[in-house]
């Protein structure tokens, strides 16, 4: 007997039905958690819907595992309390932990981090600070068309996850906001970041130990500190970073371009199979790299030394390739600096290669 394949309907949970208030004043943390509990226990695919409005949330943890696929559709804005202590005493504002097949689509996160930054700058007795949205031990995750404003610390953290897609995300914070990395990836595999616009006070994208299979394309970075691998070698028994690709991206007014940062201490960690290709830089402050292929890089440098290789004398950088690098410095030819490095140059090299 033939039975047609009938798609199962998606169940929608509107946070207003659970008591959420879109006035930005009354606390909606409880109603959001009730909506999550209903979605997480459903055996059918579900959507948690956040209509237009401003929803005040304190620290919130969306914990799995759940029974089916969940989409969080945000048409409104999630706002943190004005008092930075309300969320800053935890390490995260919005946490998804041990979840699978979850997507977060649309909306704005407003963490109101400016008062926390002022506290940090004044060296007062400040809380540890919160990352705006974190995914810990999660698989098959989609984050799309989300805007994050003024996070206390990092905006989006992907930690110990597998198969994550981040697309069309916008991140905004002042250039002098401390430790506000745009997207931080660590201990994760098969992560894609594409079509994102990141303007912040620290790294646009930071890549920590244990990252493998990271693909980045069409990233607009600046202001910010560029794209950084590291800092690495904090611990001796540290996982390596490999198979990282960044292509077709623009750096405009970023303090740095592409960096690999490491502490000068022993570690079994490593960095290998890195590709930076088709990168345009405008008024950036330098390029610091190691163990990479650096191909088709054009633009301007904010400093006379546009390309820096500063490697350890005990563990020099090896297998470096520069191919078709064309950088200017105020319409003049910039300089390059090499320490403890071995590699080759192909095609055009401006500044003159020091390899």
CB 112 within 8 A of CB 80: yes
Instruction: For residue 231, say if its preceding peptide bond is cis, omega within 30 degrees of 0.
Output: yes
Q: Where are the alpha helices (DSSP H) in the chain?
A: 29-41, 85-88, 114-121
Catalytic annotation present for 330: no
Instruction: List the catalytic residue out of 155, 225, 255, 291.
Output: 225
How many Å apart are CA 206 and CA 186, to the nearest integer? 8
Instruction: For residue 223, say if its preceding peptide bond is cis, omega within 30 degrees of 0.
Output: yes
Instruction: List the catalytic residue out of 110, 202, 203, 255.
Output: 202
Ranges assigned E (strand) in 218-340: 220-221, 227-232, 241-252, 258-262, 271-284, 287-288, 292-301, 305-310, 317-328, 335-339
Integer angstrom CA distances of residue 53 from 76, 120, 251, 301 = 5, 31, 34, 43
Mapped to the 3 state alphabet, what secondary structure does 36-84 carry?
HHHHHHCCCCEEEEECCCEEECCCEEEECCCCCCEEEEECCEEECCCCC
Catalytic annotation present for 202: yes
CB 348 within 8 A of CB 328: no
110, containing H or E segment: strand 108-110
CB 241 within 8 A of CB 299: no
For residue 300 the two structure tokens come to 């301007």
Active-site residue list:
202, 225
């Amino acid at each position: 007997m033939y039975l047609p394949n009938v798609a199962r309907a998606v169940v929608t949970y509107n946070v207003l039905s659970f008591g959420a208030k879109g006035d930005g004043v009354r606390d909606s943390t409880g109603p959001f958690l009730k909506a999550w509990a209903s979605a997480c226990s459903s055996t059918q695919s579900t959507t948690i819907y956040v209509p237009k409005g401003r929803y005040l949330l304190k620290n919130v943890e969306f914990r799995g595992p759940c029974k089916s696929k969940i989409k969080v559709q945000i048409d409104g804005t999630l706002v943190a309390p004005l008092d930075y202590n309300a969320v800053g005493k935890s390490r995260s504002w919005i946490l998804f932990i041990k979840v699978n097949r979850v997507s977060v689509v649309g909306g704005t996160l407003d963490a109101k981090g400016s008062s926390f930054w002022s506290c940090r700058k004044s060296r007062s007795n400040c809380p540890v600070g919160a990352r705006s949205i974190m995914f810990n031990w999660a698989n098959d995750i989609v984050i799309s068309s989300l805007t994050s404003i003024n996070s206390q610390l990092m905006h989006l953290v992907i930690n110990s996850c597998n198969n994550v897609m981040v697309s069309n995300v916008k991140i905004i914070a002042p250039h002098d906001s401390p430790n506000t990395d745009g997207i931080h990836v660590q201990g994760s595999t098969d992560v894609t970041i594409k079509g994102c616009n990141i303007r912040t006070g620290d790294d646009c994208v930071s890549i920590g130990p244990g990252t493998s299979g990271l693909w980045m394309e069409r990233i607009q970075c600046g202001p910010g500190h560029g794209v950084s691998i590291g800092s690495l070698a904090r611990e001796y028994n540290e996982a390596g970073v490999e198979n990282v690709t960044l292509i077709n991206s623009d750096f405009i007014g970023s303090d740095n371009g592409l960096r690999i940062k490491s502490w000068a201490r022993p570690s079994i960690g490593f960095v290998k199979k890195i590709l930076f290709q088709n990168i345009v830089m405008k008024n950036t402050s330098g390029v610091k790299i190691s163990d990479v292929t650096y191909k088709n890089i054009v633009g301007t440098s904010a400093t006379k030394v546009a390309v820096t290789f500063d490697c350890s004398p005990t563990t020099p950088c090896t297998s470096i390739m520069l191919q078709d690098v064309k950088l200017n410095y105020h319409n003049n030819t910039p300089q390059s600096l090499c320490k403890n490095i071995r590699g080759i140059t192909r095609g055009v090299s401006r500044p003159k290669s020091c390899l």
